[in-house]
Amino acid sequence: MIHPTAEVSPQAEVGEGTKIWHQAQVREGARIGRDCIISKGVYIDFDVVIGDRVKIQNRASIYHGATLEDGVFIGPHACLTNDKIPRAITPSGELKADADWEVGRIVVRYGASVGAGAVVLPDVTIGRFAMVGAGAVVTRDVPAQGLVVGSPARLKGFVCRCGRRLVVEQESAAGIEMRCPVCDVTYSIPREVVGGSTG
């Protein structure tokens, strides 16, 4: 289903069961998988790749160079950027041409979530089932199931696949055993991933 006010390029691919709502724009070469929800006012730049069952909330912007794997959630007004050196003009004062742009890549892995108003800078990978807090500015990679918040975003703990924050059960030299208080599932987080954060 594509709303009549949405602008979807004929050169874009949209999977079966995907809904594209009011005033969304999907540019040429974008590939959107099956059963996605592209909400009101979302911007999807050219050649962006989006997997299946992805939900992108109102007014989010996903720029060229971004790949969203299956099951990703992007909150309202979030922005996945791509410009590593943002300038409108060259050193000589000329308007930058397409060839002048240095595009960075963003990968959001399976099941990860990016909260409302968060900004993800170029050359970042957000790990499987990781969670980026609302308003965070992500400048570096986020580990699988990592919870990051703030500006710049810092690792503050880990989350279950259900999204709930994990609690520490046991620590060792090798890592930390963490448990979901809702699902009662236990995870082993290696020490090199945990760093100084134990939740």
Amino acid in the structure at residue 159: V
Of the pLDDT bands very low, low, confident and very high (cuts 50, 70, 90), residue 172 is: confident
Task: Report, as an integer, the average pLDDT of 149-166.
Answer: 97
What is the DSSP secondary-structure string of 28-88? Answer: TT-EE-TT-EE-TT-EE-TT-EE-SS-EE-TT-EE-TTEEE-TT-EE-TT-EE--BSS--S
Cα 183 to the center of its chain, rounded Å: 24
| H/E run at residue 191 | helix 191-194
Give the C-alpha distances (Å, rounded to integers) separating 61 from 57, 74, 108, 157, 182. Answer: 10, 9, 14, 27, 33
Q: Which residues are CB-contacts of 42 (< 8 A; sequence separation ≥ 6)?
A: 21, 24, 25, 56, 57, 58, 59, 60, 61, 62
Contact (CB, 8 A) for 58 and 42:
yes
Would you list the domain boundaries of the chain? 7-158, 160-199
Tell me the per-residue pLDDT of 25-60, one tens digit each, with 9 for 90 and over.
Answer: 999 999 999 999 999 999 999 999 999 999 999 999
User: Which pLDDT belongs to residue 194?
Assistant: 78
In whole angstroms, what is the distance from residue 100 CA to residue 84 CA? 11
Tell me the per-residue pLDDT of 119-135, one tens digit each, with 9 for 90 and over.
Answer: 999 999 999 999 999 99
Of the pLDDT bands very low, low, confident and very high (cuts 50, 70, 90), residue 162 is: very high
User: Which pLDDT belongs to residue 197?
Assistant: 54
pTM listed for this prediction: 0.94
Class of 7-158 per CATH? mainly beta
Tell me the per-residue pLDDT of 54-97, one tens digit each, with 9 for 90 and over.
Answer: 999 999 999 999 999 999 999 999 999 999 889 999 999 999 98
Chain position carrying tokens 């595009």: 103
14 φ, ψ (degrees, to nearest 5): -125, 125
Contact (CB, 8 A) for 40 and 22:
yes
